[in-house]
Amino acid sequence: MTTTILRVSDLKTSFNVKRSGRKYRVNAVDGVSLSLVAGEVLGIVGESGCGKTTVGRSIVRLVQPDSGAIEFKDTDVLSARGQTLREMRLNLRMVFQDPYASLNPRRSIGDSVAEAGDINKVFTSRAERAARIAETLTAVGLEPSFATRYPHELSGGQRQRAGIARAILPAPAVIIADEPVSALDVSVQAQVLNLMMDLREQLGLSMLFISHDIGVIGQISDRVAVMYMGRVVEMSGARSILDRAAHPYTRALMAAVPRPDPSQRIAGAIETGEPPSQFNRPAGCAYAARCPLVSERCRAEVPQLRPIGADDKVVACHNL
Amino acid sequence: MLSVRDLTVSIGSDAAPVDIVSGVSFDIGKGEILGLVGESGCGKSMTSLAVMGLLPQPGPRIRGGRIELVGADVTTLQPWQRVEAGHGRIAMIFQEPMTSLNPVRRIGDQIAEAVRVHDGLSGAAAWTRARELLEQVRIPDAALQLSAYPHQLSGGQRQRIMIAIALACRPQVLIADEPTTALDVTIQIQILGLLRDLCNRLDMSILFITHDMGVIAQLADRVAVMYGGRIVETADVATLFGEPRHHYTRGLMDCMPVRNLGARRLPTIAGQAPRPGTIRTGCVFAPRCVAAQDVCRTATPPRLALGEGHEALCAFPLDAGRPS
C-alpha cells in the first residue's frame, strides 16, 4: 500500500531582487511538481540557485508561493491559517543546514527542542515535558543532560543532532531536511546520516532530503529529483539517477563529482560553462547554452517532464 | 621547490604553548601537486599560512622548524622581506574569492596592481599583461571583463580572477587553500582542470589544501593526511588510496557516501576531532582509533617508512596489500 502523504503541484515561487538600482523578479521555483509517498525519502539535488531550498521553504510556508498547490494528507497547505497551520507545522518539520544559526544561542537545548510542543501546548505537565525532551535527546544519540546546555557548548555534530531532536519531538509525519550534513566534517557527516536513516526506520518518517551532494543524496534517498534553474529536469529511483542518468545536465553533474579514486581521473581542462543569469533567463530550456545535445527547439520551447525508458523515470529534454 | 621541516606553530604564552601544528615536514618538487587533506581544525590552513608568512598577528607563531623556498630559508622573513630578497616566488588563493577581491575596484585594476608590483609595468602595458593573465585562466571575453566589478561575476569566475592575480608574480609555488569548496561541482571540476593545466604549462608547484578526499584523488600527485596538527600519513596518490596504512586515512575514505552507495549504514569514525592541546601524550588519534592499544595512549607513535615516499605515524599500521 502506497499512500501519497505530500503532493506539490506546479509550484511557483518568486522573489523581488534589486541589483544596480533595477528591480528584478527572480523565479526561484518555476513550476515544480513532486509527490512524497508515506515512508519514503525523496532527495532533491541541484547546484546553488536551482531553487531546491525554496521548494522546501515553500512547503512549510516559510516563504509564500505565487501559485500552485501543496497538499499534506488531505489538507490544503497554502490556504491553512492559524490553528490549522500550526498543527500542520507539527507534522511538517524542518532540519536546517547550519545548526548554529538555527538554534537560538540564548536558549538551552532542551527549550529549543521542546519549543514546538510549548507553542502548541502538547505537554500536560512539567514532568511530561522533561521526559519527552530526555527521550528525544536519547533518540538522536545525545545524553539527556544536554537539555540544560547551550548551543555554544556543543560541537557541530552534536548541534545538528539537537536540530534533528527539535524536528522529531512532535512525532511529525514528514521531515524536510535542507542540507542537514553539509556543514559537517565527513567523519561526523557519516554519523548524522546514519542517525537519520535509523530514525526514518524507527519512526516511519517520510523525508524530503535537499542537498547539493550527489553522494549523500544517493546514500539516503529512495527517489531523486534533479533541479536546474527552478525546474525539475529529471526524476526517478536513486540508483537509476546514479547509474543511468539521462538528462544532459544530470550526466554533467554525475561526471563532475570528484571520485575518491585516482585511477578514475578526469583528464585535461574541462570547460562546460556556467548557469545563465537568474535575472535574464533565456527562453526555452535553461540548460541549452551548456548542453551538448542542443537543438533549435531547445532555445524556443521549455521542455516538459515526460516518461523515458523504465524505472518510472521522467526527464525534461527535447532530444532524448 | 618548497621544503618544510619540523614546523611547529603554537598559540598561547611562551611558558605554556599549545601546538596547533606540530612537527610537520613535507617537500614539494617542481611541477608537483601536493594535496594536504584533513578535517576542520587539523592545522592544514595554519600550516599554509605559516609557509606564506601570513600567520595572523598577534596570535599563532612559528615555534620551531624551518621553511625553505627554492633553497632559501624564509622561516622568519616577513612577506615584503621575501620579495625584496628575491627569495623565490610564492602566491596563495583562498576559499572565498569575494573576501579577497576589492568590491569597488574593476577586475582589470586589481590584476594590473599585482602586475605593477611584480613586473614594474605601468599604464597600458600593465593592462595588456592583465588581459593575458585573464586569458590564461580562460575567462571568455577577457578584454571586456577587465572593466567588470567583482559582483558582476559568478563565484567560479571570481576564483579564476584570484588565480590570475596569483599568477601575476609568476609563482614557482602556488598555495591553494580550499579554492573550490564554495563552488558547485560542475564549476569545481573546471577550476581543478585549470589548476592542473597551469601546473603543467607553467611548471608550477601547488600545495593544495582541502577536506575533500575526492578532490585530492582527482588532482594531487602526492598526499599528506593531517590530523590533530600532525601529518599522520604521506604517500603518492595511487598508494594512499590503494593501500592506506594509517587508520585515520582509511576511516576518512570509508565514510565517504560515494564509496558506500546502497549500503544501509555508513562506516563512521567514532567521536570527534580533539581540540588543540587536549592530547599531550601518545597518539593524537588514539581516542578514536579502532586498533589503539595501551601503548598508543602513552608513547608517541613511530613514523614508519613503509615504502618509497610512504610514511605513517602509527605503531600498529594496517596491513599492506589490503585493498580499501
Minimal CA–CA distance to B168: which of B109, B84, B81? B109
Q: What is the mean pLDDT of residues A210-221?
A: 92
Q: How close is the nearest chain A Cα to the Cα of B215, in Å?
A: 5
Q: Are A94 and A178 in contact (CB under 8 A)?
A: yes
What count of other Cβ atoms lies within 10 Å of the Cβ of residue B26? 18
* pLDDT of A23: 85
Hey, what CATH class is A4-228 in?
A: alpha beta
CB pairs A-B closer than 8 Å: 135
**Domain hosting residue B143, numbered range:** 97-170
Each residue's pLDDT tens digit, A80-131: 999 899 989 999 999 998 877 889 999 999 999 999 999 989 899 999 999 9
* pLDDT of B264: 79
Q: Give A62's Cβ-side CA count (13 Å radius).
A: 13
> Which segments of chain A are extended strands (E)?
4-19, 22-37, 41-45, 67-72, 75-76, 92-95, 174-178, 206-211, 223-228, 231-237, 306-307, 314-315
Q: Are B268 and A187 in contact (CB under 8 A)?
A: yes
Q: Are A72 and A91 in contact (CB under 8 A)?
A: yes
**pLDDT surpasses 80 at A262:** yes
Mean pLDDT of chain B: 91
Each residue's pLDDT tens digit, B217-247: 999 999 999 999 999 999 999 999 999 999 9
Q: What are phi and psi of B246, to 5 degrees?
A: -90, 140
Q: Are A269 and B196 an interchain contact pair (Cβ–Cβ within 8 Å)?
A: yes
**pLDDT surpasses 70 at B323:** no
Q: pTM of the prediction?
A: 0.90
Each residue's pLDDT tens digit, B122-167: 889 999 999 999 999 998 888 888 999 998 888 899 999 999 999 9
For cell 599492506, the residue is: B320
Q: How close is the nearest chain A Cα to the Cα of B122, in Å?
A: 31
**A186, A219, A265: residue with CB nearest B39:** A186
**pLDDT surpasses 80 at A175:** yes
Instruction: Tell me whether residue B5 is in a domain.
Output: no
**A48, A155, A190: residue with CB nearest B255:** A190
Give the residue from B256, B285, B288 with the most A CB atoms within 10 Å of its CB, the best one to mutate.
B256
**pLDDT surpasses 80 at B262:** no
Instruction: Tell me whether residue B23 is in a domain.
Output: no
Q: How close is the nearest chain B Cα to the Cα of A319, in Å?
A: 21
Give the residue from A17, A41, A47, A187 with the most B CB atoms within 10 Å of its CB, the best one to mutate.
A187
* pLDDT of B324: 45
Tell me what percent of the residues of chain A surpass a pLDDT of 90: 74
Give dist(CA B43, CA B39) in Å, integer. Answer: 9
Q: Are A269 and B217 an interchain contact pair (Cβ–Cβ within 8 Å)?
A: no
Residues of chain B found within 8 Å of residue A22, distances taken between Cβ atoms: none
Residues of chain B found within 8 Å of residue A187, distances taken between Cβ atoms: 39, 251-252, 255, 268-269, 272-273
**pLDDT surpasses 60 at B303:** yes
User: How many domains does chain B fold into?
Assistant: 1
Q: Are B255 and A187 an interchain contact pair (Cβ–Cβ within 8 Å)?
A: yes
**pLDDT surpasses 80 at A267:** no
Each residue's pLDDT tens digit, B175-220: 999 999 989 999 999 999 999 999 999 999 999 999 999 999 999 9
Q: What is the mean pLDDT of residues B71-80?
A: 85
With residue B32 as reference, give the H or E element that holds it. Answer: none
ipTM over 0.95: no
Q: Are A234 and A226 in contact (CB under 8 A)?
A: yes
For cell 588565480, the residue is: B163
**pLDDT surpasses 70 at A64:** yes
Instruction: Tell me whether residue B75 is in a domain.
Output: no
Q: What is the mean pLDDT of residues B10-23?
A: 90
Each residue's pLDDT tens digit, A66-77: 999 999 998 899
Q: Are A258 and B273 an interchain contact pair (Cβ–Cβ within 8 Å)?
A: no
Question: Is A219 near chain B, with CB under 8 Å?
Answer: yes
Q: How close is the nearest chain A Cα to the Cα of B121, in Å?
A: 30
Q: How close is the nearest chain B Cα to the Cα of A97, in Å?
A: 15
Cell readout for A168 is 522529531
Each residue's pLDDT tens digit, B39-57: 988 999 999 999 998 898 8
Q: Are B217 and A252 an interchain contact pair (Cβ–Cβ within 8 Å)?
A: no
Instruction: Tell me whether residue B151 is in a domain.
Output: yes
Each residue's pLDDT tens digit, A7-29: 999 999 999 987 767 888 889 99
Each residue's pLDDT tens digit, A29-41: 999 999 999 999 9
Give the residue from A97, A179, A194, A219 with the most B CB atoms within 10 Å of its CB, the best one to mutate.
A219
Question: Is A315 near chain B, with CB under 8 Å?
Answer: no
3 state DSSP class of B91: strand
Mean pLDDT of chain A: 92
